Structure 1
Amino acid sequence: MTDSTRATMDKKATLAWLRRISGDISTATLRRLEESLPWYSDMPPARRSAVGLVAQAGITSFIEWYQNPHETPTIAADIFAAAPRELLRSVSLQQTLQLVRITVDVTEEKVAGRGDHLREAILLYSREVAFTAADVYARAAESRGLWDARLEALVVDTILTGETDDELPSRIAALGWHGHGEVSVLVGTTPPAFDVDQVRRKARKMGVDVLIGVQGSRLVLVLGRTVTPGAEPGPEEDQLSFREIASELEPFFGQGHLVLGPTMPALVDASRSARAALAGFAVAASWRSAPRPVEADDLLPERALAGDVVAKKTLVERIYRPLEGHSTDLVTTLWSYLDNGRSLEATARDLFVHPNTVRYRLKRVSDVIGWDATGPREALILQTALILGSIGSSEVSRRRQGARRAERP
């Protein structure tokens, strides 16, 4: 009998023996998993059963691979086909490798004394399984990354369009959003080489959560402060303002204007911040000395001239209505001051009052609405608000007069 014939007979005998003891190996492996791995014991029965299927499939697959390792080099991939897809989300790669190690240890113990060639085969096969496991998890991570990117783009697009629905909170949660409370939207241009990971790393260092949307030449960031689950938000004085956050993220944008929308109380309200930021981004070029970043509310005059209804309403409600409700003298003084080129003396002559009276009233204007009429930029904002408010008041008066005439017999 030749050596090759003897080797063939020995291999057949070994295969037959392996098939007979495969059940014992599986039982011993599951017992060892129960004893050695706390995470396995804590699993629900269904998942524990799925892990057991993987271990049993690994033993069966090894026997088939041992029979003909050259013609079936990818047979190790069949191991993970025995488990449901959701197992990848509940068992980490590290835990899978622990499972492989224990299965190999138990198998080695069971085949001890059958020769070094069988032990070497087990070690070689375990290496193949480890590489296969890494490949399976890498593919799953890649698919999950692509899915997350598509979901993130969908969420950002939903925020920009304002077409929110009941599914938006669940989509946001699926992205791992840890933001709490206030949010703001930052709009700028996309740089030639945009690195998403760098933006996320910078945001994490600042304690900021971020959703990123790249829409051609336009880059949109939805910003929210993060908090550890179960922890309370830190003191407000320790938190960066959204203006400061935008300044830190400014280098990641391309050349051009960078507009920060107003702060909203929650992510589901971010569409209002997005609309303001987009409207401001569209007209930012009309303010030649606009800072970078610039707040959308600082572009209210330009937005109003461009037909932004929200900007018109904001100017009237924040400036004209409070002044009108406080005192007609403040409105009259502000009109005169702006019409006279922001000259105290000319305004005093126009109103037949002392310049100090004009100065006092302008101080009251600043106290009531928070804008200082003595600055050129804020003067433009205030004058635009007065014009819009007076137009609205005239229209209301005409409607009232028309209604009264219609009521007359």
Structure 2
Amino acid sequence: MRPTPDSELPGAFGTSRHDRTVHLLERATGRLATAAIARMEETLTWYRAMPAEQRSWVGLVIQAGIAAFVDWYRNADESRPTPTADVFGTAPRDLIRSISLQQTVEVVRVAIEVVEESVEDVVGPDDVRDVTEGVLRYSREVAFSAAHVYARYAEARGSWDARLEATVVDSLLRGEVDEDVRSRASALGWTAASGVAVIIGRPRPDDGTSADEIRRSARHAGYDVLTGGQGDRLVAVLGRVEDPVQAATAIVTHFGPGPVVVGPLVPDLVSAATSARPAVTGLLAAAGWPDAPRPVAAGSLLPERALAGDQEALHELIAELYVPIAEAGPVILETLAAYLETGASVEAAARLLFVHPNTVRYRLRRVSDVVGLTPTDPRDSYTLRLALSLGRMNPPAIE
């Protein structure tokens, strides 16, 4: 299309060449925007797939961008405004969630192509070079502005996600899991349907990066993860877990000094509190076992947890250790008690029981077979001694 002659422009008499060019660009703004939108329909698959409302938002950005370019070009000899507000202020905030930064760059590229192809028809051959150079400089500023907008959004979204994640973790630990909590967890990327474990330790001092590093390491290892701080505790909830302690090793280096306690495996996110309770009490009681491995299973801290007043641990020691040994037979329980009370001496226990030392050894192996702990191991011996004491103090019904 041939540009309108100067004599036909309203108020053309006495205006500068630059003013006439600006006027021609203003008159072509709608046509250029329409052409750019049509080009996007042809070339951008993701744009065609967008809902009509979102496509209209992108159209607003295109129109605003071209109009802002004209205004920017008009101020050639002045301090030109940054295009951020003019271009991106017209679209709803939700548009940032709908298209990525890469897609925004594609929109800018298409708009530039359309303007460059049409500039001679709009302003005439004499001003093509000047306008084209202006388009290129302006598009660079728009690209930088877009990156700035997305960076600010990412920062704000990151802060919001961290607060939301902390709320979800707090609800999980308190056992207050409803559909709303599950929905929020899903929004944070949680997809695991089974295999959940809670890991608790202390955050690193004066370091706000622990949670981010836990997320990266856990996801790299193939686990779903929710993490957050709770006072002086750092909590991680992992999904897709088969072995809780092994899963914890993927993130243990991101905790601060001190014990890192792993709760038992539970079937789903709804049951996370069942994993969290032993981990919490285990963290409080872990000081009683300075040489505990790191990470350590909450089940390995049963003696310390029971001594710290954890009723769940107390009942577990009785139910999982004392009762099976007692049900294995009175002589097994008697032999274990004699062995422990004589300073873990097979010979002394044999003399006390008037049996051969090999009989004592056989009965101790039976203890190992029944409960999985080895009486000759110092740590297991300590656990068994406490279980026997608790069982005697709280005698259960033995079948």
Q: Which TM-score tier does this pair reach, normalised by the shorter chain?
A: 0.7 to 0.9
Which whole-Å deviations, capped at 9, do the CAs of 1:135-162 have from their partners, x for residues lacking one?
1111111111111111222222223333
Report how many residues are paired.
379
Shift of 1:76: 4.1
Deviation at 1:379, TM superposition (A): 1.6
Q: 1:34 to 1:248 in 2, by over 3 A?
A: closer
Question: Which residue does 2:5 correspond to in 1?
Answer: none
2:237 to 222, 245, 265: 222
Number of the residue aligned with 1:74: 82
Q: CA deviation at 1:392?
A: 2.6
Deviations 1:33-56 (A, max 9, x none): 111111111222222222122112
How big is the shift at 1:73?
A: 0.2
Please list the CA deviations of residues 105-164 of structure 1 after superposition, one character each: whole Å capped at 9, or x if unmatched.
Answer: 112222213502222222222222112111111111111111111122222222333333
Deviation of the 1:357 alpha carbon: 3.0
1:60 to 55, 67, 78: 67
Match for 2:239: what amino acid? G
Residue pairs, 1:9-408, within 5 angstroms: 9-68=16-75, 70=78, 73-112=81-120, 113-114=124-125, 115=127, 116-179=129-192, 181-192=194-205, 194=207, 195-196=209-210, 197-225=212-240, 241-393=243-395
Native 8 Å contact 2:374 2:381 kept in 1: yes
Q: Which amino acid aligns with 1:302?
A: E
Percent identical: 50
1:55 maps to amino acid: I
Q: CA deviation at 1:348?
A: 3.5
SS of the residue corresponding to residue 201 of structure 2 reads strand
- Segments of structure 1 that go 5 or more residues without pairing to the other structure are 227-235, 398-409
| Structure 2: unaligned runs, 5 residues or longer | 1-11
Q: Give 1:337 shift.
A: 2.7
Question: For 1:347 and 1:154, how far apart are their aligned partners in 2?
Answer: 55
**C-alpha distance in structure 2 between counterparts of 1:390 and 1:119, whole Å:** 92
Letter in structure 2 aligned against 1:161: R
Please state how far the C-alpha of 1:71 moved relative to its aligned partner: 6.0
The two structures, once aligned, show a CA RMSD in angstroms of 2.7
Q: Which moved more, 1:137-146 or 1:22-31?
A: 22-31
Q: For residue 170 of structure 1, what is the amino acid of its counterpart?
A: S
CA contact (8 A) 1:148 1:175 kept: yes
Matched position secondary structure for 1:207 = coil
The answer to whether the 8 Å contact 2:282/2:305 transfers is: yes
12 and 258 in structure 1: CA distance in 2 versus 1, 3 angstrom threshold: same
CA shift digits 1:364-398 (9 cap, x unpaired): 2211211112222112211222222233327x79x
